[in-house]
Amino acid sequence: MRYIPNTPDDRQAMLRDIGVSSFEDLLKPIPKSLRLSRPLNIPKGKSEQEVVATMTSLARKNLDAASFLSFLGAGSYDHYVPAAVGDLAGRSEFLTAYTPYQPEVSQGTLQVIYEFQSMICELFRMNAANASLYDGGTALAEAVMLAQSHTRRSRVLWFDSVHPHYRKVTRTLGDPLGIRFDTMPLTDGRVKDAALDSTLDVETAAVVFQYPNFFGLIEHLEPLIERVHAAGALAIVVADPLAMGVLEPPGNWDADIVVGEGQALGNPQSYGGPYLGLFAVSEKLVRRAPGRIAGITRDVDGRRGYVLTLQTREQHIRRDKATSNICTNEGLCATRATIFLSLVGPQGLREIGETCMKNCNYLRNKLSEIPGVQLLFDGLHFKEFVFRLKGDVPAFLEFMAKRDILPGIPLKRFNMGLDDALLVALTERRTADEMDRYADAVRAFLKGSPS
Amino acid sequence: MQNETPLIFELSREGRRGYDAPDSSVQAVGPGLSPELRRKSPPRLPEVSENTVVRHYTNLSVRNHHIDRDFYPLGSCTMKYNPRVNEQIASLPGFASLHPLQPAITAQGALEVMFRLGEALKEVTGLDAVTLQPAAGAQGELTALLMFRAYLTGQGGPRRKIIIPDSAHGTNPASIRVAGYEVVELPSGGDGLLDVEALKRILDEEVAALMLTNPNTLGLFETRIEEIISLVHGIGGLVYMDGANLNAMLGICRPGEMGFDACHINLHKTFSTPHGGGGPGSGPVLVKKHLEPFLPSPVVCRHGERFELDWDRPDSIGHVHTFFGNFGVHVRALAYILSMGQEGMREISETAIVNANYLRAKLSTEFELPFGSPCMHEVVLSGDRQKARGVRTADMAKRLLDYGMHPPTVYFPLIVHEALMIEPTESESKETLDEFIEVMRQINKDSLENPDLLKTAPHTTPVRRLDEAAAARMLDIRYYKD
Ligand SMILES: Cc1ncc(COP(=O)(O)O)c(C=O)c1O
């Protein structure tokens, strides 16, 4: 009961002041037949010490990033998080504040949101960003819904090079709204103009690209986006914010909506959540953007201050016309991203990106020298790539696991016709030694050395 | 009077750094980026040293009200104490550094956390099956409505309309729209409860569902809930409970027994995850057996000693989250449930109810009480009397800020004039409540004797009243404008 201050005496005094003789009197509105007449079947409360022990033993049943060498990516990445990020975002003033409904006492949170929006706009070179959505997948779903309501068209085109989970989430939310989704073929892992031209039609609300794509390939989207626009559709780009220190931002190619997963910006992997849905739009779509937006204004003394703005788009006012239901978002993750981006700055972001690319090329190169390894999809990769090897994938995973290596994510689970291939991710945290260890282990596996 | 705080961009000086990237240990190999793909002008992120960053965000943080500082009786939002230990537990490397797609065999502890949390939530709600995937309450609502849609489609057709009372939270109608349904709003009765006669009049075969908050957003328990639910079931519809107010019924009563087909729980409210200035939250959905096949995939299940993710669910509505939901929030919720345990659960709700009724009894002398019956864990008052003196609820709210207390929720629910929606929660002591009562009485007194003091409030906050209309008119939502 350590989180509840009132004593039995307090309660008695309060009940007296309320004017009832017992607590039960306050339950009058609940029909007797509905009142639970037994205690809940959950264990008795535990001391803090016991809770820590139980939860720690659960944590120890997991193999965390320190127990093996991880080459897993596909939307969740092992990037370095500077110490100041957790320290500052963990301050109770950020941690235990609510949504900033009273701006006079929420200037801290509101200014952070404004800075966050500004940074996301800079990364993607877009005109407006919101205060965050749930994650990359739900951000794509919101983008597609926005495209439908803006264009009043209901067909969406995409490719296997867009994260399969993002597509699944988007379909779940888009199907009931009558959106039709068509998956188009790729050529060597990338989008080809001709394929686009032959499928774009007057029903197409949007085309979705990923940048770098799900296979780690960096594609030149500018000519593709031009074609999308020529057909009167919107171009939606799922972009990796961490790559924006080195890659030309999609806003410079006239993307209409840029979404992405912000976990890489200072947030732990945390078994898939909480993550950070990024959402940015061009000028013409600002008033249709979902979620909260903070803006600058003045107080009665003329001082600069921040408020949540464009509330007229929100559910509390439009109720039965609302186009998005997002309320609680990922505020703290956005705060972490803001602090992370302030620390790394433009140079740090570029250096992290360069290192990811170098590491990716380094391991690809090493593997390419091993007979029995087939690299898929030629071209420039950012931090991920796909390969296939002679031999059984489960056996390979097991062989690597014995060496404390998680070598990649088998693409079989995504049903994209690449059943014997692995998606490998390299962040700036991987060292040459670690990558050499990886390559040596692959060589040993293919030579059939005892496991 | 404090000065304006600079923006981090305004502290930027070319060449300053707050982070040293490690020396890359490998040589570049292969072709570089072609010029069309290489970024031409760097993003204008701030260039600042680490200590500037620390000082800047520390200075910003103290411009926030937060629950660790003082009372935060924001109705419907359940601002209660967040145990410190939960933060430590959630950041254990065994939780914080797990990859969502690492083999299940290497994440048995994480799956067990999710499984045990799910079991506890089933017991608390009296429902049969659970998904932890939704990332917030609103997403939980939507997830359940999509499951309703799938279920009804199997029964002959998804139907067209979903009914909500006019006291419903704004996310309810929005979720209905996003699920592809029409919103039908039902006016509440004079007692603040759902008007059962009016409901009967609008029930027809096109009604897919009724969505209710219970206790409702006026803080009142829907006494005729069983009758209401059987009416909707009678026309083949389903009934959803917005469980954001579950803090009022832990161990006291359960939505499953009332007859609800599904409900969501806001873990970030009832199960004490800090709100983080606007999230993350988590909105698990619990359902009765007949809806189980439609749960989003994957579902966590147990085979003997082994925990697994079941992805193969042919009738599933699909995925509503990229991975498995906000796992970090699941960890905190389980730790909280372990701490409170069976007796603690009930103690939470009993104390929350006593606290709210205490404020109701003490404040109804000076403030209008629109509805008579005892309330559950929150109470809605009206500022009509003060408005008649020219002082609006917004003025009173702003004046509370001068006392270092966060105001209640104002102007919601929409059906109460000048609404003040107060939720003290169980974590506030009698002394805090007495202090709040004193302040509210003083504010009432000032509304008679010194209304200007209220109309010009707040006086002590970092900024004073802000021009929200101007913000929407002259949109300034990013630092670099070109
Ligand atoms: C009654 C009610 N329903 C639904 C919600 C929505 O929950 P969330 O903000 O987590 O999406 C809230 C809280 O904001 C609420 O108070």
For A107-147, what is each residue's pLDDT tens digit? 999 999 999 999 999 999 999 999 999 999 999 999 999 99
Backbone angles phi, psi at B168, to 5 degrees: -65, 150
Phi-psi region of B341 (alpha: psi -120 to 50; beta: other; left: phi over 0): left
pLDDT band at A450, cuts 50/70/90? low
Q: Is the pLDDT of residue A312 over 90?
A: no
The answer to whether the CB atoms of A275 and B323 lie below 8 A apart is yes
Instruction: Give dist(CA B343, CA A50) in Å, integer.
Output: 17
Is A172 in contact with B25 (Cβ distance < 8 A)? no
A330 touches chain B (CB under 8 A): yes
From B88, B338, B464, residue closest to A104, measured CB to CB = B464
Give the integer Cα–Cα distance in Å for B263 and B286. 5
Tokens standing for residue B203: 């029930």
Q: How far is B389 from chain A (nearest CA, A)?
A: 23
DSSP B135: S
Find, in chain B, the residue whose alpha carbon is nearest to that of A436: B26
Question: Using CA atoms, how far apart are residues A385 and A407, in angstroms rounded to an integer?
Answer: 12
C-beta of residue A205 within 8 angstroms of C-beta of residue B209: no
In angstroms, how far is CA B104 from the centroid of its own chain?
30
φ, ψ of residue B85 in degrees (nearest 5)? -60, -30
Q: How far apart are CA A89 and CA B7, in angstroms?
A: 17
Rg of chain A taking only CA atoms, in angstroms: 26
Amino acid at B274: P
With an 8 Å Cβ cutoff, is A53 touching chain B? no
Phi first, then psi: what are they for B318, rounded to 5°? 120, -145
Contact list in B for residue A165 (CB cut-off 8 A) is 319, 322-323
Flag whether residue A301 sits within 8 Å of chain B, measured between CB atoms.
yes
User: How far is A189 from A388, CA to CA, in rounded Å?
Assistant: 14
Facing residue for A3 by CB, picked from B81, B94, B257:
B81
Touching A: B residues 87-116, CB under 8 Å = 87-103, 106-110, 112-113
Length of chain A: 451
Digit-coded pLDDT (tens) for A333-387: 999 999 999 999 999 999 999 999 999 999 999 999 999 999 999 999 999 999 9
Which of B7, B23, B26, B317 best probes binding to A when mutated, by most A CB atoms within 10 angstroms? B26
Of A166-175, A238-247, B3-12, the poorest mean pLDDT is in: B3-12
Closest C-alpha among B476, B132, B87 to residue B309: B132
- Grouping H, G, I as helix, E, B as strand and the rest as coil, residue A266 is coil
Q: Which of A142, A315, A327, A330 to mutate to test the pocket of ligand 1 (most atoms within 8 A of CB)?
A: A327
Nearest atom within ligand 1 for CA of residue B138: 11
* Residues listed for chain B: 482
Find the DSSP H helices in B128-224.
137-154, 171-178, 196-202
Contacts of range B349-352, beta carbons closer than 8 Å, 24 or more positions apart: B349/B247, B349/B248, B349/B249, B349/B250, B349/B251, B349/B252, B349/B377, B349/B426, B350/A23, B350/B252, B350/B426, B351/A4, B351/A6, B351/A11, B351/B426, B352/B247, B352/B248, B352/B376, B352/B377, B352/B423, B352/B424, B352/B425, B352/B426
- By the CB < 8 Å criterion, does B51 face chain A? no
Of B158, B331, B348, the CB nearest to A4: B348
Phi, psi (5° rounding) for residue B2? -80, 155
Whether B27 and A103 lie within 8 Å, measured CB to CB: no
Q: How far is CA A404 from the centre of its chain?
A: 27
Do residues B125 and B249 touch, judged by C-beta distance below 8 A?
Answer: no
For ligand 1, the distance from its centroid to the CA atom of residue B280, given in whole angstroms, is 12
Q: Residue holding tokens 């101007």?
A: B470
CA–centroid distance, residue B155 to ligand 1 (Å): 30
Residues 190-219 of B with CB under 8 A from A: none
What average pLDDT does range A163-182 have in this prediction? Answer: 97
Q: Hey, are the CB atoms on A105 and B29 less than 8 Å from each other?
A: no
Q: Are A420 and A393 in contact (CB under 8 A)?
A: yes
* Closest in A87, A300, A348 to B21, CB measured: A348
Pairwise CB contact (< 8 Å): A52 & B325: no
| Residue A313: per-residue pLDDT | 67
Looking at residue B3, its pLDDT comes to 65
Q: Per DSSP, which regions of A134-224 are E strands?
A: 155-159, 180-184, 204-211
Q: Is B379 helix (H, G, I), strand (E, B) or coil?
A: strand
* B179 vs A contacts (CB less than 8 Å): 176
Give the residue from chain B lying closest to A333, CA to CA: B280
Which residue owns the Cα nearest ligand 1 atom 7? B137
Helices A164-174, A136-151: crossing angle, 10 deg rounding: 50
- Protein residue whose Cα sits closest to atom 16 of ligand 1: B76
* 123-152 of B, contacting A, C-beta below 8 A: 123-124, 135-139, 141-142, 146, 149
Q: Is residue A398 within a helix (H) or strand (E), and if so which, with residue range?
A: helix A393-401
Contact by Cβ (8 Å): B326, A274: yes
The pLDDT score that the predictor gives to residue B23 is 79
Site from A2, A62, A87 to mutate, B interface, most B CB atoms within 10 angstroms: A62
Q: Give me ligand 1 centre to Cα A326, in Å.
A: 9
Strands of the sheet with A234-239, listed across from one edge: A128-129, A277-281, A257-261, A234-239, A204-211, A155-159, A180-184
Mutate to test the pocket of ligand 1, among B132, B171, B265 (most ligand atoms within 8 A of CB): B171
Q: Helix, strand or coil for residue B309? A: strand
Strands A421-425 and A409-410: what pairing? antiparallel
Bridge partner list, A104: none
In the reported structure, the alpha carbon of residue B220 is separated from the centroid of ligand 1 by a whole-number distance in angstroms of 17
In chain A, residues with a C-beta closer than 8 Å to the C-beta of B137 are: 327-328
Taking the CA of residue A83 and the nearest CA in chain B, the distance in Å comes to 10
Cα separation, B237 vs B155, whole angstroms: 10
Query: Best residue in B70, B80, B86, B97 to probe A by mutation, most A CBs within 10 Å?
Result: B97
CB B53 within 8 A of CB B18: yes
Question: A396-424 pLDDT, tens per residue?
Answer: 999 999 999 999 999 999 999 999 999 99
- Other CB atoms within a 10 A radius of the CB of residue B3 amount to 8
Substitution target in A222, A270, A275 with the highest count of B β-carbons within 10 Å is A270
Any B CB within 8 A of A172 CB: yes
For residue A185, give how far its alpha carbon lies from the nearest alpha carbon of chain B (Å): 23
Q: Confirm whether the ipTM is greater than 0.85.
A: yes
Phi/psi region, residue B204 (left: phi>0; alpha: psi -120 to 50; beta: rest), is beta
Helices in B235-380 by DSSP H: which ranges? 255-258, 267-270, 327-363
The stretch A40-57 carries a mean pLDDT of 97
**Residues contacting A61, CB < 8 A, separation 6+:** B94, B108, B109, B112
* pLDDT tens digit sequence for A183-204: 999 999 999 988 898 899 999 9
Q: Measured in angstroms, how far is the CA atom of residue B112 from the centroid of ligand 1?
A: 27
Instruction: Say whether residue B171 is in contact with chain A using an 8 A CB cutoff.
Output: yes
- Scanning the structure block, which residue is given the tokens 């002259």? B474
- Residue to substitute from A92, A301, A342, interface B, most B β-carbons within 10 A: A342
- Chain A residues with beta carbon closer than 8 angstroms to that of B182: 320
pLDDT score, position B1: 42
Answer yes or no: are the C-beta atoms of B132 and A272 closer than 8 Å: no
Q: Are strands B182-186 and B161-165 parallel, antiparallel or unpaired?
A: parallel
Residue partners of B396: CB distance under 8 A and separation at least 6: B383, B386, B407, B420, B443, B447, B454
Spatial contact of B366 and B396, defined as CB atoms under 8 Å apart: no
Bridge partners, residue B264, by sequence: B242, B285
Paired tokens of A114: 């404004």
Which residue has tokens 């993307």?
A: A255
Per-residue pLDDT 10s for chain B (482 aa) are 456 899 999 999 999 999 998 877 788 777 789 999 999 999 999 999 999 999 999 999 999 999 999 999 999 999 999 999 999 999 999 999 999 999 999 999 999 999 999 999 999 999 999 999 999 999 999 999 999 999 999 999 999 999 999 999 999 999 999 999 999 999 999 999 999 999 999 999 999 999 999 999 999 999 999 999 999 999 999 999 999 999 999 999 999 999 999 999 999 999 999 999 999 999 999 999 999 999 999 999 999 999 999 999 999 999 999 999 999 999 999 999 999 999 999 999 999 999 999 999 999 999 999 998 899 999 999 999 999 999 999 999 999 999 999 999 999 998 999 999 999 999 999 999 999 999 999 999 999 999 999 999 999 999 999 999 999 999 999 999 98
Are A246 and B28 within 8 A, CB to CB? no
Which residues contact ligand 1 via a Cβ below 6 A? A 327-328; B 76, 136-138, 169, 171, 213, 217, 242, 244, 266, 281, 283
User: What's residue A321's pLDDT?
Assistant: 82
Tokens of B135: 């990332």
Residues A80, A78: Cα–Cα separation, whole Å: 7
Residues A69-76, mean pLDDT to the nearest whole number: 97
Q: How far does residue A376's CA lie from ligand 1's centre (Å)?
A: 46
